[in-house]
Amino acid sequence: MPQTIAVLDFGSQYTQVIARRIRECQVYSKIYHYTTSAEELKQDGVIGIILSGGPSSVFAKNAPIPDRGLFDLGVPVLGICYGIQLMGRLLGGTVAKSTHREYGHGTLKITKPGRLFAKLPRKLRVWNSHGDKLTALPPGFSAIGTTDNSPFAVIEDRRRNFYGIQFHPEVFHTERGVEVIRNFLVNVCGAAQDWTTKDYIKHAIDEIRRTVGKSRVILGLSGGVDSSVAAALIHKAMGKQLTCVFVDNGLLRAGERAAVEKLYGDHFHIDLRVVDASSLFLRRLKGVEEPEQKRKIIGRTFVEVFEKSLKSIGHADFLAQGTLYPDVIESVAIGNNPAALIKSHHNVGGLPERMKLKLLEPLRELFKDEVRAVGAALGLPREVVWRQPFPGPGLGVRVLGEITKAKLEILRQADSILIQEMKATGWYWKVWQSFCVFLPVKSVGVIGDERNYSWVIAVRVVESIDAMTADWTRLPYDLMQKISSRITNEVREVSRVVYDISSKPPATIEWE
Ligand code: XMP
């Protein structure tokens, strides 16, 4: 096992970001609930502890307080934001209640670089977001950095290897924040930086082989990044013991099914079963207009079709899923921590229990960027590794209102043009998602001397980090012009293209 850094979660919206930054430094990190006992951390052999920020005040009645025993484990501790206030409070310093939050950019002046700020400039622009603040140091500590607002912006106890920082090194707005984290990991905790993609793959393959033995594994392939990487990894470990099922629900984009067949069947020689259930899905969706109802029908039909296909495959013991680490973290729900609200598990719900299958989740320790690195190392093409997210209900929620075969076909043609142009200009790889939406409205157009009355396509292109918030992308006008004219020229039934300039919130990324 690689060395582990524990990130104790006090409900910060940035907890996962801290864990990811640590891993970017090739050090394995694990998020623990703040109530985790020091004994458990000791048993896990953690080599360092980071106390996350959090929305609470240390003075609040239900302030999250960790096991004080963690300060006696003999491992380095770094408190960030709420973490530094906790250290102040628990280790004998003074924390003052503040009536207003300090929020935004500040300038940090390093008075004594030590190990935490080694090889970094003496002045850094940092990002603050805190209410309370430390006003007197706990015994054994000295201040090594200040801001205009605080003489104790960075504190250290060299003897015990305890550090506290008032700002957020993990966020993008803090200049060279990752280097501060790396310095803590390497210079203070002595981390060997042994968390690499190559080692992970080797370790995961051993683990899959040990778990699966001689049994068979079934995996529902969606064509998305997670299930694709899980398939490639399990296939490398188990070869023919893996069978993948791909359900064509009739709501796929142009060429999607063929691409899956080519990659997994022809290239990887995976035992791939393609089930064409498109007529069944479309039949059940006939006349249905309400988005949530469409989603339910699509979800239910998928489970039914998948289940039936398993029966025809024969006996298997394991069902593999591309579950990722953010899906399994129990985020601390304090304030309106968005991490605690996202639990978007769009996987095959309830199937394993009903089918008496054991779950195999080889990616459950990984963040998305790590999954992409594993996929690339396993030889998956860029198109798959960097594919944009695509909703489970597919084009079903992009044809607004009732879904028909004809509308789906129009949408597919328009969407395929958009994707081609986005890829040709490289924009596809820079944005979070880019897609077309079929609007069930007709508008008047003119071709030559003739007027026509045909459909409208909306183009939606957004930038986002995690889909919680998003902004519409300012595509170059020339590119928009090309997309629009190609769609109206090449897709006969479309007379008008509109560009969606709504951010999330208040809009959502999808239209349904
Ligand atoms: P919204 O529209 O809520 O979308 O801003 C956020 C992200 O989630 C995707 N999405 C879905 N994914 N099943 C999925 O698997 C769904 O029903 C679904 N609805 C939205 C959407 O594409 C975006 O990336």
Q: Report phi then psi at 22, rounded to 5.
A: -60, -45
Distance CA 470, CA 480 (A): 19
Ligand 1: residue of 510, 511, 512 to mutate (most ligand atoms within 8 A of CB) is: 510
Distance CA 392, CA 508 (A): 16
Residue having the nearest C-alpha atom to atom 20 of ligand 1: 391
Predicted local confidence at residue 40, as pLDDT: 98
Which residues are annotated as catalytic?
81, 168, 170
Predicted local confidence at residue 350, as pLDDT: 62
235 and 350 both lie in a single domain: yes
CATH number of 330's domain: 3.40.50.620
**Residue 341 pLDDT > 70, yes or no?**
no
Buried-state track 110-144, b at ≥16 Cβ within 10 A, e below 16: beeebbbbeebeeebebbbbbbbbbeebbeebebb
For 299-320, write each residue's pLDDT tens digit.
999 999 999 999 899 889 999 9
Range of the domain at 409: 398-499
Provide residues with CB under 6 Å of ligand 1.
295, 346, 389, 391-393, 433, 467, 504, 508-510
341 CA → ligand 1 middle, Å = 14
343 falls in which pLDDT band (50, 70, 90)?
very low
Where is the domain boundary, 317, 351, 385? 385
276 and 357 both lie in a single domain: yes
356 and 437 both lie in a single domain: no
Domain membership flag for residue 261: yes
Predicted local confidence at residue 338, as pLDDT: 58
326 CA → ligand 1 middle, Å = 16
Element counts in the chain: helices (H) and strands (E): 17, 20
Determine the average pLDDT of the residues in 63-70: 97
Asked if residue 387 lies in contact with residue 224, where contact means CB atoms within 8 angstroms, the answer is yes
184 and 206 both lie in a single domain: no
Domain membership flag for residue 262: yes
Where is the domain boundary, 165, 188, 211? 188
Query: Which atom of ligand 1 lies closest to the CA of 464?
Result: 24
- Predicted TM-score (pTM) of this structure: 0.88
CATH number of 167's domain: 3.40.50.880
Domain membership flag for residue 511: no
Query: Which atom of ligand 1 lies closest to the CA of 389?
Result: 24
Give the chain's domain count.
3
Neighbouring residues of 341: CB distance < 8 A, sequence distance ≥ 6: none
* Structure tokens, 378: 């396993």
468 CA → ligand 1 middle, Å = 10
Predicted local confidence at residue 342, as pLDDT: 45
State the alpha helices, DSSP H only, in 26-109. Answer: 38-43, 82-90
Asked if residue 254 lies in contact with residue 234, where contact means CB atoms within 8 angstroms, the answer is no
**Residue 24 pLDDT > 70, yes or no?**
yes
- The continuous run of DSSP H or E covering 246 comes out as strand 242-248
State the alpha helices, DSSP H only, in 425-470. Answer: 427-430
Query: Which atom of ligand 1 lies closest to the CA of 508?
Result: 5
250 CA → ligand 1 middle, Å = 18
